[in-house]
């Protein structure tokens, strides 16, 4: 994959991408003109994807394919960010499953992955970046997880960082053709001058302005996700293999919409409750797409059926919803690649945020 070209009168800002996954945040950083010196990720398939798309094709990143709990923050600081090569920005989205809004009642409260946001800050403390940007799901703001956020903000104050109030952004407002809300935490070191508007103004308005001016609607490009040809040699041009019974279900689902009710898909559990109405539904390309989750290629997990064909969406369709370029290839097979896509920060959204941060520091 060709690396983005960027010209600037400034030396590129150095950053590290923690919990890097397949590299969505790293690709956004490169597009924004940053130098991604280090990435940390323990998932084998995600590391294969990162190497294939970012390191193999020209990025100077050092990828640590290990558990972040076993990696020394001080060692990373000494090895990669000493002298003039200081760390300017720390990026990362710690695993969010424990904070997911889909966890019912108090599920997820004791999930050990929740504590990884505190591990994230241990790297901030060791690297002393000018700013850090952490991404997570809105569920992290729920009161049942307040103890983690309280410690996170306390750590920031103790170590000389001002952490902005949690910022919930809808990716649709920034040109991403799907309904996707995520929380971003921006921390700025107290001795750093940060001169920019934060958060950046939406590039595609809000829900109300889009209704008044349909040209702003980012899902106008959603139709292209399905009409734009996909190369027959694209490794990600594949979808789940469905049984004849499931194909009949999809044939019963109305085009450009529909749900389990129209598909006449009834499972034993549905005799006791109505179930999720969006499952087995088709994507309507004239509306914003559904949130690409880690199960985005499985029609039983959401509205992930092709608008007109009788199968689930392909990995390439899902990647396009996340604004990855078609030359970005996900490794590891169907399920592993789907998880990588669903976990990623939409490239276009990440790029807008990081350009804003870079401008604020370089001014």
Q: Is residue 43 part of a domain?
A: yes
The CATH code of the domain that includes 57 is: 3.40.50.150
Q: To which residue do tokens 């399920």 refer?
A: 335
Domain membership of residue 223 as a residue range: 213-328
How far apart CA 305 and CA 323 sit, in angstroms, is: 19
Secondary structure (3-state) at 246: helix
pTM of the predicted protein model: 0.90
Same domain, 187 and 103: yes
Looking at residue 207, its pLDDT comes to 79
Looking at residue 107, its pLDDT comes to 47
How far apart CA 247 and CA 233 sit, in angstroms, is: 25
> Of these residues, 15, 47, 87, 96, which one is catalytic?
96
Q: Residue 101 is encoded by which pair of tokens?
A: 């809004």
Same domain, 39 and 78: yes
Q: Is 96 a catalytic residue?
A: yes
Same domain, 111 and 173: yes
Q: Is residue 270 part of a domain?
A: yes
Q: Residue 227 is encoded by which pair of tokens?
A: 């009409």
Q: How far is CA 179 from CA 123, 220, 320, 339, in A?
A: 31, 13, 14, 18
* Domain tally, the chain: 2
Helix residue ranges, H only, the chain: 24-31, 44-50, 73-80, 116-127, 146-158, 207-212, 222-227, 244-252, 260-263, 315-321, 334-343, 347-362
Looking at residue 309, its pLDDT comes to 94
Q: Which residues contact 199 (CB under 8 A, 6 or more apart)?
A: 167, 169, 184, 353, 356
Q: Residue 40 is encoded by which pair of tokens?
A: 């940390």
Q: Which residues contact 310 (CB under 8 A, 6 or more apart)?
A: 242, 247, 250, 251
Same domain, 188 and 264: no
How far apart CA 208 and CA 218 sit, in angstroms, is: 14
How far apart CA 353 and CA 84 sit, in angstroms, is: 25
Looking at residue 54, its pLDDT comes to 95
Per-residue pLDDT tens listing for the chain (363 residues) = 655 444 445 689 999 999 999 999 999 999 999 999 999 999 999 999 999 999 976 678 999 999 999 999 999 999 999 988 899 999 998 885 544 444 445 444 455 556 788 899 999 999 999 999 999 999 889 887 788 889 999 999 999 999 999 999 999 999 999 999 999 999 999 999 999 999 999 998 887 888 778 777 766 667 789 999 999 999 999 999 999 999 998 998 888 666 665 666 665 555 555 556 678 899 988 888 999 999 999 999 999 999 999 999 999 999 999 999 999 999 999 999 999 999 999 999 999 999 999 999 987
Same domain, 34 and 181: yes
Looking at residue 205, its pLDDT comes to 83
């Amino acid at each position: 994959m060709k690396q983005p070209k960027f010209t600037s009168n400034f030396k590129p800002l150095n950053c590290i991408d923690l919990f890097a996954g397949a590299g969505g945040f790293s690709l956004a950083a490169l597009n924004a003109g940053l130098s991604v010196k280090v990435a940390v990720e323990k998932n084998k398939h995600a590391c294969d994807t990162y190497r294939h798309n970012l390191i193999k094709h020209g990025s100077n990143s050092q990828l640590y394919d290990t558990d972040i709990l076993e990696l020394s923050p001080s060692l990373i600081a000494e090895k990669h960010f000493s002298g003039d090569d200081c760390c300017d920005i720390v990026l990362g989205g710690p695993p969010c499953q424990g904070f997911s809004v889909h966890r019912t009642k108090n599920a997820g409260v004791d999930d050990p992955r929740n504590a990884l946001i505190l591990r994230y800050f241990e790297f901030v403390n060791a690297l002393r970046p000018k700013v850090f940007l952490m991404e997570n799901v809105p569920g992290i703001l729920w009161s049942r997880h307040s103890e983690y956020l309280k410690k996170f903000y306390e750590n920031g104050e103790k170590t000389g960082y001002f952490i902005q109030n949690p910022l919930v952004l809808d990716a649709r407002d920034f040109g991403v053709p799907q309904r996707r809300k995520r929380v971003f935490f921006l921390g700025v070191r107290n001795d750093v001058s940060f001169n920019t508007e934060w958060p950046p103004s939406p590039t595609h308005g809000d829900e109300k302005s889009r209704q008044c001016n349909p040209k702003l609607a980012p899902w106008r490009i959603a139709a292209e996700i399905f009409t734009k040809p996909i190369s027959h040699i694209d490794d990600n041009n594949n979808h789940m293999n469905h049984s004849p019974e499931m194909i009949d279900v999809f044939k019963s689902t109305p085009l450009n919409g529909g749900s389990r009710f129209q598909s006449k898909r009834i499972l034993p559990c549905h005799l006791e409750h109505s179930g999720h109405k969006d499952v087995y539904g088709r994507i309507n390309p004239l509306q914003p797409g559904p949130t690409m989750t880690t199960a985005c290629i499985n029609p039983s997990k959401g509205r992930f059926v092709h608008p007109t064909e009788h199968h689930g969406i392909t990995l390439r369709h899902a990647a396009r919803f996340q604004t990855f370029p078609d030359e970005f290839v996900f490794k590891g097979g169907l399920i592993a690649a789907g998880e990588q896509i669903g976990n990623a920060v939409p490239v276009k959204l990440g790029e807008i945020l990081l350009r804003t941060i870079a401008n604020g520091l370089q001014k």
